Amino acid sequence: MSEPNKKHLALVTGASRGIGASIARKLASEGFHVLVNFASSQEKAQKVVDSIITAGGSAELCGFNVASSQAVDEAIERVTKAYGVPVSVLVNNAGITIDGLLARLKDEDLDKTLDIDLKGAIYCTRAVSRGMMRARAGSIIQISSVIGEMGNAGQSAYSAAKAGLIGFTKSVAKELGSRGVRANVLTPGFIATEMTQDLTEAQKEVMLRNIPLGFVAEPEDVANVVAFLASSASRYITGQVIGVNGGLYI
Ligand SMILES: NC(=O)c1ccc[n+]([C@@H]2O[C@H](COP(=O)([O-])OP(=O)(O)OC[C@H]3O[C@@H](n4cnc5c(N)ncnc54)[C@H](OP(=O)(O)O)[C@@H]3O)[C@@H](O)[C@H]2O)c1
């Protein structure tokens, strides 16, 4: 762990690539010391940390599997002890999707999706909430999906997990609001990352036809909204679902 040098800690789960990496870079550019989480892609996560430091920001690796409540609790305890301050901003971005028709959905695929996409976010939120409540400040941002709002054939487990995040976050916002802690959900649409690169041209074309703004977003389009929710400029916003979807779901 590098020398503590910033008072405002931001933890971004699944920050080794894609949307999470972009969020980590953006929050670092806003002055946060960013804890760059990953599960297995340590080399990629290290590159994200290096790029932040090269750009004059502050970050370090914080590897753990969000699906393990024990690993989550240990990691949060370790960083908050090391810095002597609680995590100020938590971005629950880590996620996977295992697509397939409902009739063929395997128990293990359902469990894995719920464990990472839903329970992982709950474990992380629970772990940071204790310090945030004591500090009477904090912003929790969930990266859900437009699929959690509108559903999608072949993505029933993923949409269940992502919809679950919405109900969970509304409860957290109600429970922690009086302690100065805010919680909001982003529901991205079609973002160009490794998660979406395997879509066929035909699938991409169908998607684009349904997006009023007519283009695929970049991870930065999500990161910019996260930065707003992490800042005091959004101090009166909590419990909200904010679509970053080019109008795909209105
Ligand atoms: N791309 C889109 O169009 C889109 C749209 C809507 C919502 N989203 C959501 O946005 C988030 C990021 O998506 P993305 O497209 O950037 O995905 P991605 O490129 O596949 O990256 C996923 C990230 O999650 C991490 N991760 C996976 N399992 C983990 C675990 N158990 N513990 C900790 N980290 C874990 C991965 O790290 P490791 O490699 O180390 O496991 C990786 O950093 C996801 O929650 C996704 O559902 C994406």
Q: Whose CA is nearest to atom 4 of ligand 1?
A: 191
Mutate to test the pocket of ligand 1, among 193, 203, 242 (most ligand atoms within 8 A of CB): 193
Exposed e or buried b for every residue in 18-40, given b needs 16+ CB within 10 A? bbbbbbbbbbbebebbbbbbbbe
- The pLDDT, as a whole number, for residue 6 is 54
Tell me the domains of the chain and their CATH numbers.
Answer: 9-243 (3.40.50.720)
- The pLDDT, as a whole number, for residue 1 is 38
Kindly give the distance from the C-alpha atom of residue 178 to the centroid of ligand 1, in angstroms, as a whole number: 31
Q: Is 165 in the pocket of ligand 1 (CB under 6 A)?
A: no
User: How far apart, in whole angstroms, are the C-alpha atoms of residue 16 and residue 39?
Assistant: 9
Q: Whose CA is nearest to atom 39 of ligand 1?
A: 41
Q: Whose CA is nearest to atom 25 of ligand 1?
A: 14
The model's pTM is 0.97
Q: Is 152 in the pocket of ligand 1 (CB under 6 A)?
A: no
Radius of gyration of the chain (CA): 17
Burial class, 116, CB count within 10 angstroms (exposed 0-12 / middle 13-18 / buried 19+) = buried
- The pLDDT, as a whole number, for residue 203 is 83
Q: What atom of ligand 1 comes closest to residue 92's alpha carbon? A: 45
Kindly give the distance from the C-alpha atom of residue 46 to the centroid of ligand 1, in angstroms, as a whole number: 16
Reading the chain (250 residues) residue by residue, the pLDDT tens digits are 344 345 799 999 999 999 999 999 999 999 999 999 999 999 999 999 999 999 999 999 999 999 999 999 999 999 999 999 999 999 999 999 999 999 999 999 999 999 999 999 999 999 999 999 999 999 999 999 999 999 999 999 999 999 999 999 999 999 999 999 999 999 999 999 988 888 888 888 988 999 999 999 999 999 999 999 999 999 999 999 999 999 999 9
Q: Which residues are catalytic?
A: 158
Q: Is 67 in the pocket of ligand 1 (CB under 6 A)?
A: yes
Q: Is 14 in the pocket of ligand 1 (CB under 6 A)?
A: yes
DSSP string, 192-218: -SHHHHTS-HHHHHHHHHT-TT-SPBP
